[in-house]
Chains A and B, each alone.
Chain A
């Protein structure tokens, strides 16, 4: 190799590269020259794949021979709301099977919205002796039997997180499969499990794991068991309680308070199912240290909530039900000046009339009183353009703004106008906005504003909005950094998509359901853009059995270097050059 002034030995470069962690930076250095590409690919240890169908396991392994940490995402986000039919895909087994032989030293697996089977979990347990971290976020397809295999075999496991997964609960005894010699647990999140755990196994596990810092129990763990567990793990920083209810007894309360106050490092609390308000003061002693509080299952009323949050001056994240009401959010704005993230969920989402006094005023208060607030998810029943303009002016630092006005297509309740101007103010003022969900009555003008000002927008969610293709065209042609676009029930059709076809290759994915995109347009897109997978999802049968101009039910378009997938169910078709010929 010719000597160059800036040529270093491989080992030196590798050492330098080890300081470069983000995917973007890694990607950049790999494009400098061939030798850097080679060195980089041998020493890349962490992989993030935002869409499991964008690349194949074989391609991954061929390029990166020694990966220790992998993160994979499967189904599109709207799967969370049951818009993706059962059986659509997102199977992780092929990935695990390929990595079992290629990456025996794999330490971390993080999966989101993927189908994980017991067979998969057994393979993980068997294949990766060094498995330290397993996060299954919003996954499904496995049971407690699979968890038993993990418990029994993963001797080095530090973190097991079943975050919001849908697990088939066969028995609570899987916990007993952690051997008595197993002591490395640092973090356990089993809040999503439905059935009862083996409490004695849980207590023994907690007792023998001195490094346990995060424990999120499920609803079945009764309050009287909590004190014991906390005494066994006083160094917890993150606790998810089980059901927070019991018959009122002063001695039980005293024991619980003492146990909780013994956990001096607690920063984060969650759980709180079935809250009996008289037991809430048991947590008061650690409230000043709390940075994160999830009360989104707690059906407690505003006064109790106010009492609680006013004792948490260091709160950074609050998730709560709309029982907090405007008055509670006023109190929050007064007390929690360090608030960064707020989520307000609806307690009764399916009634038209409001059951609580939560309006746009609550959001105005927090946007005014909490200077660090940058992420909001807010469900409410009324909103006005004036309020949105005020909120945008109060808080130009929003990075994530998700507003869900519960009734689709309702206008500004004061003026009866659409919310175009209001959301326009949000995107214009909030120059760092990366994620936006809109709702209420909106015309194409709203999307003109979003396209004009939403230059940093990466993810946009739209439902029951817009008038015509022009709306979609504004977004696709204007939002330079758009990565994920998800749309449902909007009158957007072929013209905007075909006019902006090239844009789709710069995005991770586009989801459109109950819109007006025709089968003919889907075929055209699939044929013209080979690096896109254009998938038509239609449970009414093959789209060939309907006219070309007939709209498809659902459409999922994503860029991929792996070509069309082969694990599709009978109601999904990929549009490509051959699609016109294939009639299954």
Chain B
């Protein structure tokens, strides 16, 4: 196999047909002879290594990522990324949609603002201008035609107030204030 020099001189990349704008940086991997990447190049030249190391310090802290390097599986990378996002999440609160039967549009509230059920229910009463009855485990919300419900992680509609507050906070996906006969069916003895 003759011409390695031939390869370097010819710059085959320039004559290749690709589906992209000319002058765009190649994003797939190229043979190692290509010096575009700006990595330390020559192992034999010690001085070169030092120079390259200094050059490295000048480049921005997060470099353009190479495919598959460092060798970490995607799910691990995604998990690390999700951790970074999650740190933001806990700071910003748990927003859930609230709908009320008959109301023209939905609202959104931050569950983190409330420490217990009475606080939440009071806020809902104010927001939608209605009154919720008295809660009891046996009879649900008595004395009102409204019943506050929520959709949990299983996708089931549950009556607000049955489970401990923290459990509710972590499982509540959506709130819905039911009205009328549908509401009376919930939590009441048939």
Mark each residue of chain B from 129 to 156: 1 if its CB lies under 8 Å from any CB of chain A, else 0: 0000000000000000000000001100
Contact yes or no, B154 A199, CB < 8 A:
yes
| Interface residue stretch chosen among A326-334, A349-357, A386-394 | A349-357
- List residues 7-53 of chain B with CB under 8 A from any CB of chain A: 7, 12, 16, 18, 28-33, 39-40, 43-44, 46, 49-50, 53
Chain A residues with CB under 8 Å of B46's CB are: 416-417
Given the complex of chains A and B, what is the CA–CA distance between A551 and B10 in angstroms?
Answer: 13
Q: Closest CB-CB distance, A252 to chain B, in whole Å?
A: 7
| Interface residue stretch chosen among B67-75, B102-110, B116-124, B180-188 | B67-75
For the complex, would chain A's binding face be called helix, strand, loop or mixed by DSSP majority? loop
Chain A residues with CB under 8 Å of B68's CB are: 78, 81-83, 488
Contact yes or no, A82 B72, CB < 8 A:
no
Known pairs A410-B40, A514-B30; A349 contacts B1 (CB<8 A)? no
Contact yes or no, A353 B61, CB < 8 A:
yes
Q: Closest CB-CB distance, A445 to chain B, in whole Å?
A: 10
- List residues 64-101 of chain B with CB under 8 A from any CB of chain A: 65, 67-77, 79-80, 83, 86
> At the interface, yes or no: A408 with Cβ under 8 Å from chain B?
yes
> At the interface, yes or no: B126 with Cβ under 8 Å from chain A?
no
Contact yes or no, B43 A467, CB < 8 A:
yes
Given the complex of chains A and B, what is the CA–CA distance between A166 and B43 in angstroms?
Answer: 39
Given the complex of chains A and B, what is the CA–CA distance between A200 and B152 in angstroms?
Answer: 11
Can you name the residue of chain A whose Cβ is closest to the Cβ of B65? A350
| Option from B32, B50, B80, B170 in Cβ contact (under 8 Å) with A489 | B32
> At the interface, yes or no: B190 with Cβ under 8 Å from chain A?
no
Chain B residues with CB under 8 Å of A74's CB are: none
Contact yes or no, B70 A540, CB < 8 A:
no
Known pairs A416-B50, A489-B32, A516-B31; A546 contacts B1 (CB<8 A)? no
Residues of B in contact with A, size category: 35 or more
Contact yes or no, A404 B167, CB < 8 A:
no
| Option from A78, A443, A514, A521 in Cβ contact (under 8 Å) with B32 | A514
Contact yes or no, B32 A516, CB < 8 A:
yes
Contact yes or no, B72 A81, CB < 8 A:
yes
Can you name the residue of chain B whose Cβ is closest to the Cβ of A498? B1
Contact yes or no, B169 A514, CB < 8 A:
no
Contact yes or no, B33 A491, CB < 8 A:
yes
Can you name the residue of chain B whose Cβ is closest to the Cβ of A492? B32
> At the interface, yes or no: A18 with Cβ under 8 Å from chain B?
no
Q: Closest CB-CB distance, A540 to chain B, in whole Å?
A: 7
Contact yes or no, A518 B1, CB < 8 A:
yes
Chain B residues with CB under 8 Å of A347's CB are: 80
| Option from A82, A350, A407 in Cβ contact (under 8 Å) with B56 | A407
> At the interface, yes or no: A478 with Cβ under 8 Å from chain B?
no
Q: Closest CB-CB distance, A225 to chain B, in whole Å?
A: 9
Known pairs A78-B68, A349-B72, A518-B1; A549 contacts B6 (CB<8 A)? yes
> At the interface, yes or no: A341 with Cβ under 8 Å from chain B?
no
> At the interface, yes or no: A25 with Cβ under 8 Å from chain B?
no
| Option from B53, B71, B79 in Cβ contact (under 8 Å) with A404 | B71
Known pairs A200-B154, A441-B40, A493-B1; A164 contacts B75 (CB<8 A)? yes
Given the complex of chains A and B, what is the CA–CA distance between A539 and B74 in angstroms?
Answer: 22
Known pairs A164-B75, A192-B75, A493-B1; A464 contacts B70 (CB<8 A)? no
Chain B residues with CB under 8 Å of A443's CB are: 43-44
Chain B residues with CB under 8 Å of A274's CB are: 83, 86
Contact yes or no, B32 A515, CB < 8 A:
yes
Chain A residues with CB under 8 Å of B79's CB are: 273, 297
Chain A residues with CB under 8 Å of B167's CB are: 224
> At the interface, yes or no: A296 with Cβ under 8 Å from chain B?
yes
Chain A residues with CB under 8 Å of B153's CB are: 196, 199, 220
Chain A residues with CB under 8 Å of B80's CB are: 347-349
Q: Closest CB-CB distance, A321 to chain B, in whole Å?
A: 8
Q: Closest CB-CB distance, B71 to chain A, in whole Å?
A: 5
> At the interface, yes or no: A346 with Cβ under 8 Å from chain B?
yes
> At the interface, yes or no: A86 with Cβ under 8 Å from chain B?
no
> At the interface, yes or no: A249 with Cβ under 8 Å from chain B?
yes
Contact yes or no, B1 A521, CB < 8 A:
yes
> At the interface, yes or no: A100 with Cβ under 8 Å from chain B?
no
| Option from B1, B67, B72 in Cβ contact (under 8 Å) with A520 | B1
Contact yes or no, B70 A346, CB < 8 A:
yes
Mark each residue of chain A from 334 to 364: 1 if its CB lies under 8 Å from any CB of chain B, else 0: 0000000000011111111100000000000
- List residues 47-72 of chain A with CB under 8 A from any CB of chain B: none
Contact yes or no, A351 B61, CB < 8 A:
yes
Chain A residues with CB under 8 Å of B73's CB are: 80-81, 164
Contact yes or no, B3 A549, CB < 8 A:
yes
> At the interface, yes or no: A2 with Cβ under 8 Å from chain B?
no
Q: Closest CB-CB distance, A103 to chain B, in whole Å?
A: 32
| Option from B7, B44, B75, B171 in Cβ contact (under 8 Å) with A549 | B7
Contact yes or no, B62 A350, CB < 8 A:
yes
Contact yes or no, B70 A495, CB < 8 A:
no
Q: Interface centre among A196, A220, A520, by most B CB within 10 Å?
A: A196
Given the complex of chains A and B, what is the CA–CA distance between A265 and B33 in angstroms?
Answer: 56
Given the complex of chains A and B, what is the CA–CA distance between A551 and B59 in angstroms?
Answer: 30
Mark each residue of chain A from 442 to 455: 1 if its CB lies under 8 Å from any CB of chain B, else 0: 11000000000000
> At the interface, yes or no: A247 with Cβ under 8 Å from chain B?
yes
Known pairs A247-B166, A351-B62, A409-B39; A463 contacts B7 (CB<8 A)? no
Q: Interface centre among B46, B67, B69, B171, by most A CB within 10 Å?
A: B69
> At the interface, yes or no: A198 with Cβ under 8 Å from chain B?
yes
> At the interface, yes or no: B2 with Cβ under 8 Å from chain A?
yes
Given the complex of chains A and B, what is the CA–CA distance between A78 and B71 in angstroms?
Answer: 9
Chain B residues with CB under 8 Å of A417's CB are: 46
Chain B residues with CB under 8 Å of A352's CB are: 56, 59, 61-63
Contact yes or no, A82 B67, CB < 8 A:
yes
Contact yes or no, B61 A416, CB < 8 A:
no
> At the interface, yes or no: A222 with Cβ under 8 Å from chain B?
yes
Contact yes or no, A513 B1, CB < 8 A:
no
Contact yes or no, B166 A350, CB < 8 A:
no
Chain A residues with CB under 8 Å of B166's CB are: 224, 246-247, 249, 252
Chain A residues with CB under 8 Å of B4's CB are: 493, 516
Contact yes or no, B12 A546, CB < 8 A:
yes
> At the interface, yes or no: A564 with Cβ under 8 Å from chain B?
no
Known pairs A200-B154, A514-B30; A224 contacts B39 (CB<8 A)? no
> At the interface, yes or no: A411 with Cβ under 8 Å from chain B?
yes
6 A–B contacts from the bound complex (CB under 8 Å): A78-B68, A247-B169, A417-B46, A464-B32, A494-B1, A549-B2
4 further interface pairs, Cβ-Cβ under 8 Å (given A443-B43, A491-B31, A553-B29) = A463-B69, A467-B43, A520-B1, A550-B12
In order of increasing CB-CB distance, the 4 nearest A-B pairs are: A81-B68, A514-B29, A494-B1, A551-B31
